[in-house]
Structure 1
């Protein structure tokens, strides 16, 4: 019976609807103790694209492959119906191919404390912080 329970738990954790992976995203580092988080409040609308291990937002005006996105530290990667997506701490999601409006802003180069820094560097810039406001 214990083996059956373990198999069922494993199936639920890795099923197509809801598998999560906090390390599957390029994310900003969590704030230091006692520090407040301030999000840039610009917005950008385009198509969310998963390519080469990175999420990008691509607008009709961009012809260079889009902007590589850096998500907040508490976001996780999700998979639903075979589509790669991102989920915020409140359960809001967006998936590869979705038309999205994201909050955030451009911060220039790639911050040194970015989680999955090597992956972000391999994907290349430009870079922007991103969050799911809508």
Structure 2
């Protein structure tokens, strides 16, 4: 099922926090756990971009253009992929001490996919600093 309802700002903040928690879990070797209400639209398929920054510098920006998995899983997968963005040095425990994640998402397929050049801008989505 593809998300058809608009996501709330709370959902956006949750996804940004989830991306931050996923990176933190990977860096510390801890288990990622998140409670998502069963009726949440975050269980519906959607596409996300995750942008990682450290001190305002881009550290990774990776995303999906097609909704192929639940939003909460897509944001975690893209957070992991953003840690190893091939255009930038990988995020490591040393570089990951203080960073910001942003997670814009698209709720339904459109005629034209989002433009990654604009989706990776700081103004595009809720963010979470860890």
Common fold by TM > 0.5: no
Question: Which of the two has greater helix per residue?
Answer: 2
- Scaled by the length of structure 2, the TM-score of the pair is 0.25
- Scaled by the length of structure 1, the TM-score of the pair is 0.24
Kindly name which structure, 1 or 2, has the bigger radius of gyration based on alpha carbons: 1
